[in-house]
Amino acid sequence: NVINVVATDKAGNSSNVERNITFIASKPAAPTANPEPGTYAGGVMVRLATTTPGAAIYYTTDGSEPTEGSTPYTDKITITSNTTIKAIAVKDGKKSDVATFEYAIGLPGPGDDALNQLANELVRVYSNMDDNDKRALETAKANINAPGLDWNQLLTTILNNLTDNAKNALGPDPCAQLRYFILEGLNIYYTPNTNVDQVAQQLKIFRSTYKPMITRVFDGGVTVEDIWNFILAVQNALPDQFTKQDLEDLLDKGFAIIEDRLQEWVNGAIDQTLNSPDYQIFKDKLADVGLTRDVLIQTKDNLFNAAEPDLLAVQAVVKGYVRSRVELGGKTTIEVNDTETYQLKAMGIDLAPLLNWYSSNNVVAKFTQGSTLKALAVGTTTITAYWEKGGMEKAWLARYVITSIAHQKATLSGKVVKEDKSPFGGVTVSLLGGEKEYQTTTDEKGNFFFHNLLRGTYRLTAFAPGHKKAEKEIVIVAEENILSDPIVLTATNKCDFDGSGTVDDEDLKLILQHYRLTASDPGWKSTFDVYLDNRIDILDMVIVGKNFGR
């Protein structure tokens, strides 16, 4: 470089001189790590950076010294065990000093219940998506990760309203820190992973990574768990936003109405959550740093528009969400020649009459009218309920496997006795198998009978208050089944109302349900009249209390 120096005096006389100056490039600045080295619960995502423009970063995690032949840094480094990162920055053949960052990984901290619940909810939605829906999510993920995306514009509402203290807590580049935080959360949301353990692990690493930042910004008043719980609460509030007309329109128009009504539903769920008593403190803490309801909603809209301008990913999520909350009303095991009419409730609304019904195997069972299925032969079939527009593969709302079994009935008989082998009358005997439950009572000779049973495996339970409940597995294979050995009920304590073998809290709950009843009242049960005065009062409670734990 040539520098021309000119000197001028007060009289205007001037002189100049030229000098050749050589600038020697210094070595690049050593990399820095975010978050800082330390101990993190469960795992941490580390980002490396250098202040030298255009410098490349290389790093190792095995303790060796990094060189230009080491792993090039391109994205965050996820660490799940004790790790030492060594890194250098390189530009124009010059290398920075080696930077060393040590991370210790401890056991996951408190709040795992919330994260596990959120992971289960996400997987529940993802599991109800078809391949087209999942591709829409992946496309949205690619959009939000696009290199040219202007995050200053996306986050302008937050950056303009965030308090100075909050910005300072974020560090020298608040936009970058917010971008990392939001982007990592969206990457989890837009990845249709159906492995609940993996999703839970991602959420826990996210929490561990951003816990220090959240603590600084909110001065300990808000945690990452609070934010996840808020997101989960908003999602749980969504059903309250749907009307019957909304659901009918969704089916009639193939979810095209989402473009018009999505913001109304989501914003309504946000308002419902923020205005609930459980989130008043959370709402106030957000407002203290400038994150008001309007700021959150405007930022949410900016991010949605950037990730999915065509709203296909949102449609996929809403479809998965609605499908995950569909409940089938009706038996999934039916006998040959029998019929079953199904209900299909989503958010408490029966959608069955609005849908088309399809059986994958009409030889086994076929729909005769609407949602009424008739079993024709032994076997299985998959029934699908779908709306008309879009075709069955893209427009299904629910799918279930139905088993058709042979029309066959059986009987079961047996006897219940006391410890002294005397007959035990009035004992409640129940059979539970599949979707069926049968119940009867022993006669004065202790005998019980069941008729019209389907063949299969059942759990038989015999129970009388004051006696330990007896349970055994029964396999019904013949037309007539007789238990060879009597069922013996062992006496425990007259206050052991549920037959658990011990007088405990459950027995207290049972007697409290009958408290103050007399023998002339509806619902009276002499079982709880342990004082034997035809009324259930404090005298009975005293006796139960004296026997508690026995």
Q: What is the pLDDT of residues 461-514, one digit of tens each?
A: 999 988 999 999 998 877 789 998 999 999 898 898 888 888 889 889 988 988
**What's the CA gap between 418 and 476, in Å, rounded?**
25
Share of the chain above pLDDT 90, in %: 51
pLDDT at 176: 92
With tokens 């019209």, the residue in question is 452
Distance CA 472, CA 462 (A): 9
Tell whether the model's pLDDT for residue 263 goes beyond 80: no
Question: Would you state the pLDDT for residue 374?
Answer: 95
State the pLDDT confidence band at 312, using cuts at 50, 70 and 90: confident
Per-residue pLDDT, averaged over 260-280, amounts to 87
Average model confidence (pLDDT) across the chain? 88
Q: Name every residue whose Cβ is closer than 8 Å to that of residue 205 and which is 6 or more positions away in sequence.
A: 42, 43, 44, 45, 78, 80
The model's confidence at residue 82, banded by pLDDT at 50, 70 and 90, is very high
- pLDDT score recorded for residue 2: 78
Closest CA to 435 of 324, 347, 329: 329
Query: Confidence class of residue 150 from pLDDT cuts 50, 70 and 90?
Result: very high
Model confidence pLDDT, tens digit, residues 449-462? 998 887 788 999 99
Give the mean pLDDT of 40-52.
92
Looking at 162-257, list the stretches that DSSP marks H as alpha helix, in order from N- to C-terminal side.
Answer: 164-170, 174-189, 196-218, 224-237, 244-252
255 has pLDDT over 90: no
pLDDT digits (tens, 9 = 90+) for 321-371: 888 888 899 999 888 888 999 998 877 788 888 888 999 999 999 999 999
For the residues 84-107, what does the mean pLDDT come to? 93
For residue 465, give the nearest of 497, 488, 491 by alpha carbon.
497
Has residue 19 got a pLDDT over 90? Answer: no
Q: What does the pLDDT read at residue 246? A: 79
* pLDDT at res. 106: 85
pTM of the model: 0.64
Q: How many CB atoms lie within 10 A of CB 534?
A: 12
What does the pLDDT read at residue 390? 62
